[in-house]
Chain A
């Protein structure tokens, strides 16, 4: 569904992505991991066309995304922290996003609006919402148009345990609908619950992209947390040897 070909990106003279190649398909829930500053957010922003890569290209459903904007109709995005115009009502935010995709003719996926009970805050202005509630609105928006690809940037941080559980269940349901879901998170237990693959970025390069069971059997660890630490420590050892 999405193919990334040799993506390079520098901020000034600082290289952030150093040639990433990968292909992701429907039915995968990929957890994007990596230490701070490894290029996770930049990589996501490249896919969304928010950051323009210096070199290389990205194909979404076999079409190049450079200079295109319509491909984003099929991507739902939940940013790390979302902000909407402060004096708008929550209701207006939803109707604005529906206005943007006026030609959308599927059925709206309002599961999260129901489960988070967002109807009760429809008349509140966005500026009065707490950080966690804004996260809920932002999550509901990402799923609203039933997109075939979802990009969730640290979706569960800031959510209370109940809401976090609701969101994870929703992700699992969408996964079963054969969608491509892309998640970044530092909470390994969350990742283990919802994802099928782990992708590890380090220093702007893709270290590995494997499904979780393969990763576990290769490292000989039964739990994902230990498996990943195993890989990370191995990696640091190699770095030191060089």
Chain B
């Protein structure tokens, strides 16, 4: 099934963008770990990079790459190979190469300076976000034939997940502050992959103790096995559903 996957992967791994991305992550992580004396603080700064930069690069790079390989995809469709395999190969090639960049760029400095459970969580969270947002990028690229529209759509998703969603949550929290909404907040937070990763990593840190009652509920939830399983399940759904939907659309698409 992965007949063309390995060729797509070896092509993308040699892409200058992936090399630049690796170098950028390496430089930033290295600098943060060097400047911050305390490893936990440094990891907190790195968390923000993971939550903002990784979704953005995954979305934009995957969308652009998909449009740029349109003629190649066209040629593959004319070969005796199922369309869904072509799409899955493109996806795995993109997701794996972005993950490799992350694990080298961020993993190596972390391994040298601050090995800890939280650092491990950070890398796992980053990998999960890469998989989720690459899947969403493929969906954007498949939905629209127009390159500008597709990239616009993927930027909108990034904006929604990182900025708008959090704002909406705050509005809800303030409007219903008289009611015990903690549990519902927990559910709503978990529905957004970016927030889910943020909360699940924050709750591993000591700072969770400063967050009062809500923090206590969150901390309890995310430190239990059920919380971990739940988090991973939500993230896999965020990967699998967009991917299935894109396969469905791609199978019926005129090229």
Q: A44 → chain B, closest Cβ, in Å?
A: 9
Closest to A81 in B: B71
List B residues 72-101 near A (Cβ within 8 Å).
72, 74-75, 77-83
A69 vs B72: C-alpha distance in the bound complex, in angstroms?
A: 17
A79 vs B75: C-alpha distance in the bound complex, in angstroms?
A: 8
A-B pair count, CB < 8 Å, reads 73
Answer whether A88 and B10 are a contact pair too, CB < 8 Å, given A52-B252, A96-B4: yes
Judging by beta carbons under 8 Å apart, are B80 and A100 in contact? yes
Closest to B8 in A: A85
Judging by beta carbons under 8 Å apart, are A99 and B69 in contact? no
A75 vs B77: C-alpha distance in the bound complex, in angstroms?
A: 12
A11 vs B80: C-alpha distance in the bound complex, in angstroms?
A: 25
Is A77 among interface residues, defined by CB-CB distance under 8 A? yes
The A contact surface, by secondary structure, is loop
Choose from A11, A48, A82, A85 the contact partner of B69 (Cβ within 8 Å): A85
Choose from B72, B74, B82 the contact partner of A85 (Cβ within 8 Å): B72
Choose from B14, B81, B252 the contact partner of A69 (Cβ within 8 Å): B81
How big is the A interface, by class? 20 to 34
Is A97 among interface residues, defined by CB-CB distance under 8 A? yes
**Residues on the B chain within 8 Å of A45, using CB:** 254-255
Is A27 among interface residues, defined by CB-CB distance under 8 A? no
Closest to A80 in B: B71
A96 vs B75: C-alpha distance in the bound complex, in angstroms?
A: 12
**Residues on the A chain within 8 Å of B83, using CB:** 69
Judging by beta carbons under 8 Å apart, are B75 and A92 in contact? no
Answer whether A99 and B4 are a contact pair too, CB < 8 Å, given A72-B78, A83-B71, A85-B69: yes
A235 vs B50: C-alpha distance in the bound complex, in angstroms?
A: 65
Extra inter-chain contacts (9) besides given A83-B71, A102-B3, CB under 8 Å:
A50-B77, A51-B254, A71-B80, A72-B79, A75-B78, A79-B78, A84-B75, A92-B10, A96-B7
A-B pairs with lowest CB-CB distance, top 7: A85-B11, A83-B71, A72-B80, A87-B14, A73-B80, A51-B254, A77-B78
List residues of chain A with CB under 8 Å of any chain B CB.
Answer: 11, 45, 48-52, 69-73, 75, 77, 79, 81-88, 92, 96-97, 99-102
List residues of chain B with CB under 8 Å of any chain A CB.
Answer: 3-4, 7-8, 10-11, 14-15, 69, 71-72, 74-75, 77-83, 252, 254-255
A and B contact pairs by CB, cutoff 8 A, 29 listed: A45-B255, A48-B77, A48-B78, A50-B77, A50-B78, A50-B254, A51-B254, A51-B255, A52-B254, A69-B82, A71-B80, A72-B80, A77-B79, A79-B75, A79-B78, A82-B75, A84-B75, A85-B7, A85-B11, A85-B69, A85-B72, A87-B10, A87-B11, A87-B14, A87-B15, A96-B7, A100-B3, A100-B80, A101-B79
